[in-house]
Amino acid sequence: MIWLLLVILVDVSAQETSPNGERIFAQSCSVGYCHGAAGSAGRGPRLRGRRLERSYVEKVTRDGIPDSAMPGWKERLSDREITAVVDYVMSLASASEVATPANPMPPGEGPASISEFAGPPEARRGQELFFDSTRTPRCAGCHALGGRGAAIGPDLLTGSARETRDFIATVRAKSPKHVLVAKLTDGDTFPALRAGQKDEFIQLYDLTTEIPVLRTLQRSEIRSLAEGGDWRHEAVARPYSDDDLAAILPFLQWLRSARK
């Protein structure tokens, strides 16, 4: 959460005896405004250190994501090349979050530097849980704090929960008011967060995927946007126990007090 997958593909020979997934990724996915080198964060989301379902990676790689900048590869790469790339992306799950690749991104691209945590001891555990790269989904996939994470969901520092039970209840909420139900003229319906609008286009984050996808739609394609629906925040908070959430709250409270 990180927010969308961005890929610009270049032609790669399908005649190799043994396709090299790392090389194909570097040439096809880690260029321009796309994923960073070795799966680090670029303009597209970070893949390094994330545990994604293989079936999800295969589907997105082959078919792309409708109304987003992520195209499908099935018309550009062979089945064996796609399998090699998926194998490489899956291998990145156990890699450290910060990459030191041989093919660096241009200046200004790539992951932001991560400073040493300067908060109180009781907030340190919450900070680790919030940005824990071994959890998918994770809090930082949809929320940004201190220059890290993806600013897809609402600003958590504007919250007012002081009691642990209230914070846990908020996280486990069935259907937050800011989540909309988008109904399109072609019959497609999905839970969404409003991202922005300009002229005849509206941008929405599609919450049906494990990684929220930014979709750009013409106003004429949208039949309605309304509150309600059955999307559950609890579904994306499933990697966190109540004890984990109780540990995250002091981290948020410390950041709130530092903002004042």
Q: In angstroms, how far is CA 225 from the centroid of its own chain?
A: 23
Question: How far is 60 from 209, CA to CA, in rounded Å?
Answer: 10
Any idea where the domains of the chain sit in the sequence?
1-111, 121-174+234-259, 180-231
User: Are the C-beta atoms of 99 and 36 separated by less than 8 Å?
Assistant: yes
Question: How far is 75 from 67, CA to CA, in rounded Å?
Answer: 18
User: Please, which pLDDT band fits residue 33 given cuts at 50, 70 and 90?
Assistant: very low
What is the value of pTM for the model shown? 0.58
Question: How far is 220 from 124, CA to CA, in rounded Å?
Answer: 47
Structure-model confidence comparison of residues 110 and 235, the more confident one: 235
Sign of CA dihedral 259, 151, 168, 246: negative
Structure-model confidence comparison of residues 40 and 144, the more confident one: 144
Average pLDDT, the chain: 77
What is the CATH architecture of 121-174+234-259? Orthogonal Bundle (1.10)
160: pLDDT strictly greater than 70: no
17: pLDDT strictly greater than 80: no
Model confidence pLDDT, tens digit, residues 101-151 = 433 333 333 444 455 778 899 999 999 999 887 787 889 888 888 778 788
Q: What percent of the chain has pLDDT over 70?
A: 73
User: Are the C-beta atoms of 97 and 49 separated by less than 8 Å?
Assistant: yes
Decide whether 1-111 matches 121-174+234-259 in CATH topology: yes
197: pLDDT strictly greater than 90: no
Model confidence pLDDT, tens digit, residues 208-233 = 876 777 788 889 999 999 988 888 88
10: pLDDT strictly greater than 50: no
The three-state (H, E, C) secondary structure of 176-240, written as one string: CCCCEEEEECCCCEEEEEEEEEECCEEEEEECCCCCCEEEEEEHHHEEEEEECCCCCHHHHCCCC
pLDDT score, position 12: 37
User: Please, which pLDDT band fits residue 170 given cuts at 50, 70 and 90?
Assistant: confident
pLDDT score, position 152: 85
Asked if the 1-111 domain carries CATH number 1.10.760, the reply is yes
pLDDT score, position 14: 37
